[in-house]
Chain A
Amino acid sequence: MSAHDLKEMRPGAHDLKEMRLLGLSRGLIMAGLLGGIATASGIALTTTSGWLIVRADQRPQIMLLLTTIVAVRTFGLARPLFRYWERLRSHDVALGDLAERRTRTYAALVPLTPARLGSRGRADLLTGVVDDLTDVVEASVRVTVPAIAALLAGITSAALTALVDPRVGLVIAGMLAATAVVAAFADRLESHAQTEVLAARAEVARIAQLSADHADELRSIGGTATATGWLTTAHDTLHATVTRQARGRSISAAAVLIITGVGALVSAALAATSGASTPVMALLVLAPVATGETLGVLTDATRAHARARACQQRLDELLDQELAVAHGVAGGIPPSASPGVHCPRAMQGLDHAPRLELRGLTAGWLPGRTDLGPLDLAVDPGARIALVGPNGSGKSTALAVLARHLDPSGGSYTIDGTDVTDRDLTDVRALFAIVDDEPHVLAATLRANLALAAPEADDEGLVDSLRRAGLGTWFAGLPHGLDSRLGSGGLGISGGERARLSIARAIASGRPVILLDEPVAHLDHPTAEAVITDLLQHAGDRSVIMVTHHGVGLDRMDRIVTIEKEGASHRAHQSIAG
């Protein structure tokens, strides 16, 4: 698949706009309707019961009460029945919506991966996307449906009460209007604070992660107390923002009760002077109370709405980014503009390591920014090169450009003498196997985990790659061999084994260039050394380019290239490892 196809595949802004927050679908309206019937039945149950009791007190013939008794029973049955039906409908609609949003979001993320996901912590960002989608969809169950239901039931209650006494009907309508105003106000308070709460939560998560991740390093420099101080500060901020956010909820919880109380008192005063029959009077006093009780759900809805809105905003920001790789930049030839020019397909199935050359290359993660370069780098077939340099000097950027996950913004990048932009994107990407610091183990069999890199390989080949990655002993101890399940729900796997599995994938893929981006950053020193040693021993005639700033394995490389941060003097210093 070429970059062009990728771009075609990407859902356009139009498609994404369709996935708005709280969109009304027929299914949701239907669920709201069912919920409205359930809620109205509840109101009717209370009011007719009141009527019945007062009527009974007048000691009529039992026969005269039968109609109302049947009505009360009907309402009593209707409420759970319709509630059940509503919950089934609304959840089914929401799950259908979730399925669709998941598919679309995933498809939209594929061309943005990895360059637009940030350079570190991608797995956490992607986990955040999963949670955000769930929260957005939850809003339809927890906001849209209850709101429609409460509105419908409230209007029904106001209208029916108005038939008996228009003044009390008006009181109930007034209660609805007042509740709507309060809900809007509370929603605004809640949403305003939501951004702060999210920021405070993110900071807490960052510090908690840092303290747990670097527990030993912090302890060894006597920094544990300081780190605890950071956590306490972050927690204090969280307390403050959460307390502020709860104000919206507090106001709406209190306001709904006050509105109900006022409604009940006004109705009682009106009912006393209505001149209606005594059972009807009881009905008129109880109707606003029963209606008010159903409006309480709005407090919860406010909370869900504010959260869903923030989540939707975050998703939009992520998905609205420009693609990091376009076809035909920097003098390349877009296939559509010149149909006569054929993308060279000769590279398919390339089994030797190509010669890679970067000349005066610059690149940036965001448009208009330069994170790397200009950089000159030549990688001969089979070379072992380490890229070192200060953080932020562009080491990872260089790897992303090499792997064709990021377009260069200037200079040239050639493979075996041909400019990369003249080559098919998929073919170029197929040259590189990437091992990064967050290798993912899919919840699947060991075979599937390896085969994703080498669909055509047979079992023997896969086992061989495991051995070469230093996992021979580990594999021998597996209960079900290649059929052993890994990942969540499967076998536990240590950090070192995870890194080695990622390397086994790279070896199994047969791709002629292996790019390592801080592959052992999370491993302890001896494990890191062992992993790198095994990799370099078994890389064969592949080229290996490794980014590191921890010095592990540097003495085993042919060449160490230091990338400096300074702008003009951005030439790489090269040295031979001693």
Chain B
Amino acid sequence: MRPFDPRILRVVPATRRPVAALAGIGVAQGIATIGTAFALAVLVVSVVRGQDLVAPMVWTGGLFAVRALLGAASEAIAARAGTVVATHLREQLIAAWSQRTIHQRPFEAPSSHLRTPPSRDRALTLATQGTSAVEPYVAKYLPALVSAAVVPPLAIACLLVVDWPSALVVILTVPLLPLFAALIGATTQEDTERRWDSLRDLSGHFLDVMRGLPTLVSYGRAERQVEVIGEVSQRHRRATMRTLRLAFMSAAALELLATISVAIVAVVVGLRLTTGSMDLLIGLTAILLAPEAYWPIRRVGTEFHSAADGAAALDEILADLDPHSPMAMQEDAHSPMAMQEDVHSPMAMQENVHSPMAMQGAKGGAPFGLPGTVSLAGVDYSYPGTERTVLAGVDLVAGRGLTVITGPSGCGKTTLLEVIAGIRRPDRGEVSAPEVHLVTQRPFLGAGTLRANLTIAGPAESTDVWQALREVGLHEAIATLPLGVDSPLGDDGFGLSAGQRARLVLARALLSPSPVVLLDEPTAHVDPESAATIGDTITRLAATRTVIAVSHQPDLAARANHHVRLGQQAVTR
């Protein structure tokens, strides 16, 4: 793994500033630390020679004050940079995520035994804990990396000016540190890798049985795990200690190496002092400067230990976000390839095939017909990774008014709506639709207020909100609530019956600015009274917008301006 992945600056440009701030303050701290070594040397020499202390004391005091300020600023900047980078990564990850069609999501593909796509859980983990793990990487590891890159060269440069023989010793010994680290790493690598798998299994065991606790309890198998946990934890302890012993030993070896190197500088300086061929001030400065060339390098190793999770998460996140990464290429390969294969098919408007996203962006930009017209031509669709064609050669043109689609269960009605909405990209054929509002069978209702849920597609005036509620017959029920439209909803809609929920999401569709409204079984599982209200509202809605509803209910089909029957395989042309 690279010590610093510059992709982060390219893929997430918002991280440039915080990373630059971290680097800047790291450089300033390095300069101040080296300055302190000079000031201290002068102070000590002044004390022992009984010289005037004012100037060296002012310098030393001043430098400690500057370092204190920089130290405080660096803690604050590091913490801030950590969250700024992590939050930008998260925002970008989720934004990229919500733009993708189902095809492009690696983990929506059914599992194959040859290649295991990152699971849905894994992706969610990336968006939550994964991005959070990047925080210590940025806040602690990057500053260490900066000081390792800045302080040793600076210290050596100062030494060269002050006393070149000492500098020579340092120049000859500093490279031994990374060399030694690499040697230790190489000789222990095989051993570490051999242990890594078993260590991962052991450390994962507790998390696994914890997450499985409800399942284990319900089958009465939890108690017997207590003993197993104790035993596995002890094995984990022993295995971890074996790995740690190696890590600590190599850290100790590096420290020893650094100490010996500084000692060599000291011996040379001491000999020259006793022979009188060197001034005390220069000797002391060299002794105080020399350690600055070594410890920042060792600190990188220590900090990397705690930032390893973040580095791994960052790797995965960047692979997902970076359009040039092999993984992203593979995703994109799905649909465009499928479309290119289609060149021989006698499709009229082949070059006009856009991605659904592009079409959604172009409001009302239907290639033919009136604004608000939905048109499908020769649409084929099969679920990712399966052979079964759900939609085959579907043609559909729907303008203002109510279009009701009926058909047997499993004929792809819901899929058809999702294709129109751009959530699924057809394998073949052409879809043209302006911005649509799709009311699914499981409409999203978040844990906010009623108002927040109703205005999720865009802000709306209170009067409009109440008007919409009146149209769906919910205004009386909501007016009696102490907080009215500002009453909170629980996750998935606390305390709403199926009928109320269906009417609420219809009110939301009324409030949305979309010229096209798609409804998936708007009256399923609701009481007859609600169904009638919903039917009336849909009729009124269809007077001004394009409404396409999928339904089993004969009542709704009777209200339709157009009635489309979807066959077992597909719509007949």
Residues of B within 8 A of A390 (CB): 493-498, 500
A60 to B275, CA, bound (A): 9
Q: Is A278 touching B512 in the complex (CB atoms < 8 A)? A: no
Confirm or deny: A377 has a beta carbon within 8 angstroms of a beta carbon on chain B: no
Residue pairs across A and B with CB atoms within 8 Å: the count is 427
Shortest distance in angstroms between B267's beta carbon and chain A's nearest beta carbon? 8
Report the bound CA distance from A429 to B409 in whole Å.
37
Contact with A along B193-221 (1 / 0, CB 8 A): 00000001100111111111111111111
**Does A294 sit at the interface, judged by CB under 8 A?**
no
A239 touches B97 (CB 8 A): no
Looking at the assembled complex, report how far the CB atom of B280 sits from the nearest CB atom of chain A, in whole angstroms. Answer: 4
Q: Tell me the nearest residue of chain A to B492, going by C-beta.
A: A391
Whether A443 lies near B251 (C-beta < 8 A) is: no
> Contacting chain B: which of A19-27, A266-274, A355-363?
A266-274
Additional A-B contacts beyond A50-B287, A84-B249 (5; CB < 8 A): A109-B210, A113-B222, A391-B493, A440-B215, A509-B219
The range of chain B's interface size is 35 or more
- A278 pairs with B214, CB closer than 8 A: no
Known: A81-B252, A392-B490, A429-B220. Is A220-B423 also a contact (CB below 8 A)?
Answer: yes
Q: How far is the CA of A130 from the CA of B212 in the complex (A)?
A: 12
Quick one: which of A203-230 are within 8 Å of B by CB?
204-205, 208-224, 226-228
Q: How far is the CA of A269 from the CA of B111 in the complex (A)?
A: 74
Q: Which residues of A contact B214 (CB under 8 A)?
A: 113-114, 117, 122-123, 436, 438, 440
Could you say which of B160-168, B228-236, B367-375 contacts chain A?
B228-236
Quick check: A222 and B98 within 8 Å, CB to CB?
A: no
Question: Considering the chains assembled together, what is the distance between the CA atoms of A214 and B493 in angstroms?
Answer: 14
- Whether A492 and B213, one on each chain, are in contact in the complex, defined by CB atoms closer than 8 angstroms, is no
Question: Quick check: is B84 within 8 A (CB to CB) of the other chain?
Answer: yes
Task: State whether the Cβ of A550 lies closer than 8 Å to any Cβ in chain B.
Answer: yes
Q: Which residues of A contact B560 (CB under 8 A)?
A: none
Which chain B residues lie closer than 8 Å to A281 at the CB level? 44, 47-48
In whole angstroms, what is the CA distance A442 to B98 when docked?
30
B385: nearest residue on chain A (CB-CB)? Answer: A494
- Complex: chain B residue closest to A133, CB-CB: B206
Instruction: Find chain A residues with CB under 8 A from B83 CB.
Output: 235, 238-239, 242
A221 CB, min distance to chain B CBs, angstroms: 6
B110 within 8 A of A: yes
Assess A214 versus B444: contact at CB under 8 Å? Given A50-B284, A84-B249, A389-B497: yes
Across-interface contacts of A92 in B (CB, < 8 A): 237, 241
Can you name 23 A-B residue pairings with CB atoms under 8 Å?
A53-B273, A83-B252, A113-B213, A204-B87, A208-B131, A212-B97, A217-B440, A220-B421, A220-B439, A220-B440, A246-B75, A251-B72, A253-B74, A254-B68, A258-B64, A286-B40, A390-B498, A393-B495, A430-B220, A440-B212, A442-B209, A492-B116, A495-B120
Smallest distance from the beta carbon of A203 to chain B beta carbons, Å? 11
The verdict on A83 contacting B230 (CB below 8 Å), with A216-B423, A220-B440, A222-B512 known, is: no
Given contact pairs A226-B456, A438-B214, A243 touches B283 in the complex (Cβ within 8 A): no
B329 within 8 A of A: no
Contact (Cβ within 8 A) A529 B223: no
Give the distance to chain A from B389, nearest Cβ to Cβ, in Å.
13
Q: How far is the CA of A496 from the CA of B63 in the complex (A)?
A: 64
Chain A 236-263 residues near chain B, CB threshold 8 A: 238-239, 242-243, 245-247, 249-251, 253-258, 260-262
- B308 CB to closest chain A CB (Å) equals 15
Bound CA span A349–B157, Å: 82
**CB distance B117 to A238 under 8 Å?**
no
Task: Give Cα A45 to B295, complex, Å.
Answer: 15
B94 within 8 A of A: yes
Distance, CA A388 to CA B498, complexed state (A): 9
Q: Which of A274-297 contact B (CB under 8 A)?
A: 278-279, 281-282, 285-286, 289
Q: Check if A388 sits within 8 Å of B492, measured CB to CB.
A: no
Compute how far the CA of A88 lies from the CA of B221 in the bound complex, rounded to whole angstroms.
36
Given A83-B255, A390-B497, residue A253 in contact with residue B71 (CB < 8 A): yes
Contact of B147 with A by CB under 8 A = no
Given contacts A209-B127, A222-B458, contact A126 B213 (CB under 8 A): yes
Q: A50-B284, A110-B217, A257-B71 are in contact. Are A130 and B206 (CB under 8 A)?
A: yes
Contact of A392 with B274 at beta-carbon distance under 8 Å, contacts A235-B87, A239-B83, A525-B441 already known: no
Query: CA A262 – CA B442 in complex, angstroms?
Result: 67
B250 and chain A: residue at smallest CB distance: A84
From A69-77, A150-158, A313-321, A536-544, give the one contacting chain B. Answer: A69-77
Return B265 CB to nearest CB of chain A, in Å: 10
Which of B78, B211, B440, B492 gathers the greatest number of chain A CB atoms within 10 Å? B211
